[in-house]
Structure 1
Amino acid sequence: MPHRILLTCGEPAGIGPELAPLALASGVDFVWIGDPRHLPPGTDFCEITAPSDPVPVGRLPVLRHDFAAPRTPGRPDPANAAGVVEVIARAVDLITRGEAAALTTLPISKQALKQGAGFAFPGHTEFLAHLAGDLPVAMMLASTTVTPPCRVVPATIHIPLEQVPAALTDEVLEQAVRITHAALIRDFGIPDPRIAVAGLNPHAGEGGTMGRQEADRIAPLIARLRAEGLDIAGPLPADTMFHAPARARWDAAVCAYHDQALIPIKTLDFAGGVNVTLGLPFIRTSPDHGTAFDIAGQGRADPASTIAALRMARDMAAQRR
């Protein structure tokens, strides 16, 4: 079976091209897909024609994908937007054909892609789900350097906060729980996952005085899932779920909305957090940060999260095997 990881280039104007050679320190066997012109000057790379081609030790293996324009750090070029999208689609095609073990993606700029290529998706996660056949997916952020580990899954993702109460339907929350439960077993090797579910409102509604969603909808759903045999707790107040003793009681937390999930993980493990897309037929991880236009081209890019993402992709692939 293939063992090499595909690393997509992401937005050329961001720190992605700088992270690729630095990620060799991960010790993971990966190949970068992108335009070699965008790599930092002096990068020791080796062009290959297929993910399985041999690569000299210590050199960055590159599957060449030509872009329309050179790289200007910190300044996205609309002419390169189509190339960013094409690289993601190419990587998914390669992995679905069995030519690689997993996918790690470097950050994209949704704004740049919308402006330059009419990108119609809220983010990477939704585009990958579309390429995989419009499958239901969930976004997990997982720590790699804190104990007990912190794994969080927002049930709603890239929508305005004012839309969350209506979007957090029973179906949406149940789907997030079930996808998380299956992934913890298949990809993380946890045979009997423990899942915590956060409430939507402060103090998880405090008996209905701060909102009725917990009592009327979330608690009955949790009771039904618990009756099926899932080890699931909640709805819990989000402000007391993430200190170490609380995290020791669960393997993953399903949260109501984006910031409720991402603030604790980024506070606890900013450099070591990894974004994992659950529910795909292939493994996808990503560093837990953006394009960092403000430091692009300055030699300040921190590869810690990219290294963690590559190592997690490798470990998840081994678990699936």
Structure 2
Amino acid sequence: MIEVGPLVASCGDPAGVGPECLVRAWQQRGALALPPFAVVGSAAHLAGLAGTVPVHAVASMEQAGRIFAEALPVIDLGPLDIKPGQPSRKGAALALAALDLAANLAVSGEASGLVTGPIAKAGLQDVGFAHPGQTEFVAAACGIKPEGAVMMLAGPTLRVVPMTVHVPLASVADALSAELITGRIRIAAAALTRDFGLPRPRIAVAGLNPHAGEQGRIGTEEIEVIVPAVEQLRAEGYAVTGPMAGDTMFHAEARALYDVAICMYHDQALIPLKALDFDHGVNVTLGLPIVRTSPDHGTAFGIAGTGQASIGPTVAAIRMAADCALRRAGADSLAA
């Protein structure tokens, strides 16, 4: 039977809900059948959140795998005086250090995959974070250019890939190109085969405009940009359909016809994903030499420390990372 080593999880902003969700996930590891993972963060801070949950500082991922059954393994970055819900510069600095070390452990192969905790980008930028988000940071750690890393949001009932992410809605049309769409779909299709076991993924492409432009009557981006991209991909053998009207492609019958929806902008992708799979959504980075997932939510400072945060997305991110790592290990062993 193919096995992989433990995953590594960066703690995220220590004042947010990320650390407590990891603690609670470990606490329910048996009932949830979770694979071994280690947390990079402050062992003292995590122990303070954990209550009676045992926390053990470890020096390596190999050691983490050995003690996971008895204690939450933490690769310790030192003490931290911070309270839930009260972000600080020190907390942001620790979050950045945790992300950096966790990414390096995955890139080096010491960890079988990377799960990144939620961060506050503004706080990280104050301590030297120079990337739009964690996706780009991890891509850089892997030696991959930003355009080579594709964000996918995945849940039990839907997978979506936005072509543009954190750009103003007024700038979306100018940001789109046939080259952008074909490039990202190729990356997504390869990752869906390698990491999700779909030999020929079915890909549905959304239009940008209402009713997918109505043949140019409500915008011409479909005719000028999206249709040429779809036709090019079909000529290459991809199972691509579209452009489809965004308001009719996310009901149950439509979702049964595709494996991933390619969306033109952030909210076109994330609104249906969060409406359908809010408690189980996972952010997956496609196109990397490592497995990277993240729970699809933010730091939630307002409820940090209250026990109200759902651990569903954290559990889903851990499980998805482990599943992808196993598929890669299996594919690599067959190739060998």
Give the whole-Å Cα distance in 2 for the aligned partners of 1:66 and 1:173.
Answer: 44
User: Counterpart in 2 of 1:125?
Assistant: 135
User: Counterpart in 2 of 1:245?
Assistant: 253
User: Counterpart in 1 of 2:54?
Assistant: 44
Give the whole-Å Cα distance in 2 for the aligned partners of 1:302 and 1:189.
Answer: 28
Give the direction of change, closer, same or farther, for the CA distance of 1:185–1:56 in structure 2 (3 Å limit).
closer
The CA deviation at 1:172 is 1.4
Give the whole-Å Cα distance in 2 for the aligned partners of 1:56 and 1:5.
Answer: 11
1:86 is aligned to 2:94? no
Letter in 2 for 1:4: P
The CA deviation at 1:80 is 2.7
Give the whole-Å Cα distance in 2 for the aligned partners of 1:93 and 1:56.
Answer: 21
Letter in 2 for 1:3: G
Give the whole-Å Cα distance in 2 for the aligned partners of 1:173 and 1:38.
Answer: 43
* TM-score, reference length from structure 1: 0.95
Give the whole-Å Cα distance in 2 for the aligned partners of 1:244 and 1:124.
Answer: 31
Q: Is the CA contact (8 Å cut-off) linking 2:9 and 2:114 kept in structure 1?
A: yes
The CA deviation at 1:6 is 0.5
The CA deviation at 1:134 is 3.4
Deviates more, 1:216-225 or 1:262-271: 216-225
Give the direction of change, closer, same or farther, for the CA distance of 1:30–1:202 in structure 2 (3 Å limit).
same
Query: Equivalent residue of 2:91, what SS?
Result: helix
Give the whole-Å Cα distance in 1 for the aligned partners of 2:42 and 2:291.
Answer: 24
- Equivalence map 1:67-78=2 (5 Å): 69-78=80-89
The CA deviation at 1:57 is 2.1
User: Counterpart in 1 of 2:69?
Assistant: 57
1:311 is aligned to 2:311? no
Deviations 1:155-190 (A, max 9, x none): 111111111111112221112111110011000000
User: Counterpart in 1 of 2:218?
Assistant: 210
Q: Is the CA contact (8 Å cut-off) linking 2:37 and 2:68 kept in structure 1?
A: no
Q: How large is the RMSD of aligned CA atoms in angstroms? A: 1.3
Give the whole-Å Cα distance in 1 for the aligned partners of 2:164 and 2:288.
Answer: 17
The CA deviation at 1:100 is 1.1
Give the whole-Å Cα distance in 2 for the aligned partners of 1:243 and 1:88.
Answer: 37
Give the whole-Å Cα distance in 1 for the aligned partners of 2:50 and 2:293.
Answer: 27
The CA deviation at 1:41 is 4.8
Structure number with the higher helix fraction is 2
- Equivalence map 1:1-321=2 (5 Å): 2-24=4-26, 25=28, 26=32, 27-39=34-46, 40-42=49-51, 43-53=53-63, 54-55=66-67, 57-66=69-78, 69-115=80-126, 117-135=127-145, 136-144=148-156, 149-321=157-329
Percentage identity across paired residues of the two chains: 48
Give the whole-Å Cα distance in 2 for the aligned partners of 1:212 and 1:8.
Answer: 43
Give the whole-Å Cα distance in 1 for the aligned partners of 2:254 and 2:260.
Answer: 11
Give the whole-Å Cα distance in 1 for the aligned partners of 2:267 and 2:78.
Answer: 36
The CA deviation at 1:55 is 0.1
Query: Equivalent residue of 2:289, what SS?
Result: coil
Letter in 2 for 1:9: C
Q: Is the CA contact (8 Å cut-off) linking 2:15 and 2:304 kept in structure 1?
A: yes
* TM-score, reference length from structure 2: 0.91
Q: Is the CA contact (8 Å cut-off) linking 1:2 and 1:52 kept in structure 2?
A: no
Deviates more, 1:184-193 or 1:123-132: 123-132
> Aligned pair count?
315
The CA deviation at 1:2 is 4.1
Letter in 2 for 1:104: V
Deviations 1:217-265 (A, max 9, x none): 2111111110111100011111111111101110001100111000000
Query: Equivalent residue of 2:319, what SS?
Result: helix
Letter in 2 for 1:248: A
Query: Equivalent residue of 1:187, what SS?
Result: helix
Q: Is the CA contact (8 Å cut-off) linking 1:2 and 1:99 kept in structure 2?
A: no
Give the whole-Å Cα distance in 2 for the aligned partners of 1:239 and 1:268.
Answer: 14
Unaligned runs of 5+ in 2: 330-336
Q: Is the CA contact (8 Å cut-off) linking 1:176 and 1:254 kept in structure 2?
A: no
Give the whole-Å Cα distance in 1 for the aligned partners of 2:50 and 2:313.
Answer: 23
Deviations 1:124-143 (A, max 9, x none): 11111122113311110111
Letter in 1 for 2:158: C
